Amino acid sequence: MTKSISPAPEFIIPPLPMNILTIREYLPHRYPFLLVDRVTEVTEKGIVGYKNVSINEEFLQGHFPTYPIMPGVLIIEALAQVSGIFSFILVNETPKDGSIFLFAGAEKIRFKKQVVAGDQLVLKSELVMQKRGIYKYHRTASVDGIVAVTAEIMISYQNMMSQNLIHPTAIIDPSANIADDVHIGPYSIIGSHVTIGAGTKLHSHVVVGGFTRIGENNEIFQFASVGEVCQDLKYSGEETWLEIGDNNKIREHCTLHRGTVQDQGLTKIGSNNLFMVNTHIAHDCMIGDHNIFANNVGVAGHVHVGNHVIVGGNAGIHQFCRIDSYSLIGGAALILKDVPAYVIVSGNPAQAHGMNIEGMRRKGWSKETIQGLREAYKLIYKSGLTTVQAIEQIRAEILHKTPEAQLLIQSLEQSTRGIVR
């Protein structure tokens, strides 16, 4: 079961002006490193704050004793702090909620005027870019209307409640809703509107593109890409989703794409599935539970896969096909039509080769059940009857003693492309 996504934070301007007591609620810094004394303006574009430079500042005691000048690096820090306040306002959080903004970089720094004891620094910060937890600001510090410093500074959003589980190089969008015990490895990227449930682990270099709900106790290995926009040429940026259930293993280089508005706007993965290396699940697919996709399987758009299906390595499945429960697809098979429940298919193009008897035995099914399904298979594939005639005979002669045959009947009745024969 996946969790519902939290809506994007509402932009709420706190009461102005913000005095030092309010500022301390938005910044974790304390004396002697709290460098913002007052905030007077906040808009959706930026913020204006002040730093009063007193002769009593600790940094002026040594920089320099005979000519006290505020170090340029501390002016940059003051600009970063006022931007941090604005960033917390944007995400509607405070440091006590377990989140923090860290200095991520600075460029185009220009020092144009000395700042000395007695000066009042006006700190202006304008948001110019926000992407996947990185905020970039154009900042200006001035004294008496004269610009002292200009810079472009980047800060990074971090959730410190789970900092020991989230690698510091991971980039996480503030809108993401991540359970406290989720592991996120180095250089992973979590996009906007992502939910990740408890117990899930992302190895290094995993990308969750956005608009994705991931359930509990999943494991996603390095270089996998899930929730990215689809490759359908008709897609033009609409909001569509990927949902992943619980207890799935998604191995290296797998790609799972979001849906399209031409279908239901949703790609859905069930629970307890194994996606081996380089498996591709395209847009609008519906994947059930307890399935195994071996290496290099390609599943085209709008495909429906039932439960307990095994797909051999390098197999390809054409768009809009149905692969029903307990079926088995051989390695390198090309699936152009629907695969009924319980049936083994292989080849290019695929052909039917009997029932998945070994799979039934491993699940502990009785000899009577297996024999009943064998008889149903013969009526469909070897009796010369039409599909309609075979269904009627299965209902009349087999279904009452082998209820599992109902799943096979449904496969035939729901097929729109015809079945693999």
Residues 37, 284, 289, 324: which is the catalytic one? 284
The model's pTM: 0.66
Angle made by CA atoms 99, 101, 104, in degrees to the nearest 5: 145
* Average pLDDT estimate for 352-360: 95
In this structure, CATH architecture of domain 364-414: Up-down Bundle (1.20)
Superfamily of the domain at 20-159: Hotdog Thioesterase (3.10.129.10)
- pLDDT recorded at residue 6: 41
Residue 170 near residue 184 (C-beta atoms within 8 A): yes
Look at residue 116 and tell me whether its pLDDT is greater than 90: yes
* Mean per-residue pLDDT of the chain: 93
* Average pLDDT estimate for 185-193: 95
Tally of CB atoms within 10 A around 95: 17
Residues 301, 316, 330, 372: which is the catalytic one? 301
Residues 193, 257, 283, 302: which is the catalytic one? 283
* Residue 174 dihedral angles phi and psi, to the nearest 5°: -60, -25
310 Cβ contact partners less than 8 Å away, ≥ 6 residues apart: 291, 292, 294, 327, 328, 329, 359
How many residues are there in the chain?
Answer: 421
Give the end-to-end CA distance of the chain in Å, rounded to a whole number: 36
What is the spatial distance between Cα 221 and Cα 254, in angstroms, rounded to a whole number? 9
User: Of the given ranges (69-78, 97-106, 139-148), which has the lowest mean pLDDT?
Assistant: 97-106
pLDDT interval class at 333 (50, 70, 90) = very high
Look at residue 130 and tell me whether its pLDDT is greater than 90: no
Reply yes or no: is the peptide bond before residue 223 cis, omega within 30 of 0.
no
DSSP state of 246: S
What is the spatial distance between Cα 194 and Cα 201, in angstroms, rounded to a whole number? 14
Residue 282 near residue 307 (C-beta atoms within 8 A): no
Q: Is 283 a catalytic residue?
A: yes
* Residue 146 dihedral angles phi and psi, to the nearest 5°: -105, 130
Look at residue 280 and tell me whether its pLDDT is greater than 60: yes
- pLDDT recorded at residue 93: 83
- Give the start-to-end residue ranges of the domains of the chain: 20-159, 160-361, 364-414
Q: Cα separations (Å) of 151 from 78, 108, 136? A: 12, 5, 10
Q: Which 3 state secondary structure label does DSSP give 228? A: strand
pLDDT tens profile 225-261: 999 999 999 999 999 999 999 999 999 999 999 999 9
Strands 286-287, 304-305: pairing kind: parallel
What is the spatial distance between Cα 81 and Cα 78, in angstroms, rounded to a whole number? 5
- pLDDT recorded at residue 97: 64
Residue 326 near residue 305 (C-beta atoms within 8 A): no
Reply yes or no: is the peptide bond before residue 15 cis, omega within 30 of 0.
no
Token representation of residue 299: 């599943």
CATH classification (class only), 160-361: mainly beta
Closest of 266, 253, 341 to residue 305, by C-alpha: 341
Token representation of residue 78: 């003051």
What is the spatial distance between Cα 256 and Cα 267, in angstroms, rounded to a whole number? 8
Strands 249-250, 225-228: pairing kind: unpaired
- pLDDT recorded at residue 131: 78
pLDDT tens profile 138-173: 999 999 999 999 999 999 887 665 556 899 899 999
pLDDT tens profile 321-330: 999 999 999 9
Look at residue 1 and tell me whether its pLDDT is greater than 50: no
- What is the number of alpha carbons within 13 Å of residue 139 lying toward its C-beta? 35
Handedness of CA 160, 166, 168, 169 (dihedral sign): negative
Q: Is 301 a catalytic residue?
A: yes
What is the spatial distance between Cα 99 and Cα 97, in angstroms, rounded to a whole number? 6
